[in-house]
Chains A and B, each alone.
Chain A
Amino acid sequence: MKTGETFPNLTFLKPGGTAVVLSELLTADRTLILMMRHLA
């Protein structure tokens, strides 16, 4: 994906298992997303 392209409005799961869509997480003009390799 290149800068300027629109990211799909994917669905994620909160720690409790509730679904949340990407648009609900974009709460500022810029949102940093940390893509984690794993939690180890």
Chain B
Amino acid sequence: MPCVAHLGEVARNYPAFQAAGIAVFGIVQAPPAVLQTFLKSEPQPFPIVADPERASYKAFGLGRVSIWHFLRPRILFNFIKLLFRGERIRKLTHTEDVFQLGGDFALDRNAKLVYAYPSKDATDRPRLADLIEKLRTKV
């Protein structure tokens, strides 16, 4: 849920990214068919691609968390906060690893890493204003 909430936040503010000359795309660990079903119900203004082997997750050095991680008060509080904001819990498919962490990264045209924000926990994402500002200055 925090990931899809972040996706929605970026999608709603996509014009601001475009205005700053920043392209956006998403990577999911779900297989293409699951991604296709998701996009039919929740279309996005930028591409989302599938990486079921999670090669990109490994390349970015993204780790996994344990079940105990979700029982931390701060994590539970963040999930509850998102529910109160109107986010909904979607059905998790067996093809996705719930313990996988995500993050936000930026590459230049030559695939050089210019920005990295690996999530520290399941609810951790950069603030949108910070993200745009940091990427705007990474020329």
Contacts and interface: CB of A to CB of B under 8 A. Distances in A.
Instruction: Tell me the interface secondary structure of chain A in the complex.
Output: loop
B130 to A, nearest CB: 12
B36 A16 contact: yes
A40 B96 contact: yes
Interface residues of A, number: 35
Contact of A20 (B1, B49, B122): B49
A20 to B, nearest CB: 6
A23 B111 contact: yes
Contacts of B131: 32
Given A4-B113, A25-B49, A33 B38 contact: no
A36 B7 contact: yes
